[in-house]
Structure 1
Amino acid sequence: MAGEPQADCLFCKIVAGQIPATVVRETETTVAFRDINPQAPTHVLVIPKVHYPDAASLAAAEPGVASDILIEAGRVALDEKIVEHGYRVVFNTGSGAGQTVFHAHAHVLGGRGLQWPPG
């Protein structure tokens, strides 16, 4: 069922505390933790505690939680001191776009120049 934890989902296991993560922020609806394969000096993932396979399905079903992810992305950027020089918030959707964990999540990237387009 949409929104319910999935037994085979890495991020659902992080939310449940079954898999360790370097958590930098947590709210009632989100968890933010450091990416294990960082693509920038600051690379933090912000995930909803509820399970949806991608950002679009989360936003359609629970727009308030989708908003919470963006709010937390901004707070992560403040905490990590990357606001002044700029940062990027990325939602990958589908394997062709680089999504490897099918649980909605935002990447907060910063701490170096981030040219556009990203590749």
Structure 2
Amino acid sequence: MDCLFCSIIKGEVPSDCIYEDELVYAFNDIDKQAPVHFLIVPKKHIDSTDDLEEEDADLIGHVFLVAKKLARELGVTNGYRIVNNCKEDGGQTVNHIHFHVLAKRQLNWPPG
């Protein structure tokens, strides 16, 4: 399997890591769309949201708790957005489930 995010998690591709535990890896996005913009990537390779199984429920819950923790640590006090793009039409460009966390600017609705 040739997966960019798996390579980042393994340390084969450099990243600006901001958090890591046994389940997830988080790093600053290289193409920031907000003053705070980081990704949370499960270490377990799952292609997309469409590929989640019942057994992944705790993992995905953990992603959201990590997002909350990191937002607080980064001084986010006025809200943030968590984005998951699913498959090509949903804007997913890396086939490994991941979550963007964006903050510290007004985020419009609907998104693009």
TM-score by length of 1: 0.88
Percent sequence identity over aligned pairs: 40
Question: Residues 59 and 73 from structure 1, CA distance in 2 versus in 1: closer, same or farther, beyond 3 angstroms?
Answer: farther
Aligned residues: 112
Return the match for 2:13 from 12, 19, 25.
19
TM-score by length of 2: 0.93
- Contact 1:32/1:44 (8 A) holds in 2: yes
Q: Is 2:100 the partner of 1:112? A: no
Distance 1:34 1:58 in 2: 24
Where in structure 1 are there 5+ consecutive unaligned residues? 1-6
Cα deviation 1:16-67 (Å, max 9, x = unaligned): 1111100001111000000111111111000100100113423534111111
Distance 1:67 1:33 in 2: 18
Question: Residues 59 and 36 from structure 1, CA distance in 2 versus in 1: closer, same or farther, beyond 3 angstroms?
Answer: farther
Distance 2:95 2:34 in 1: 22
Q: Secondary structure at the match of 1:115?
A: coil
Return the match for 1:75 from 48, 69, 72.
69
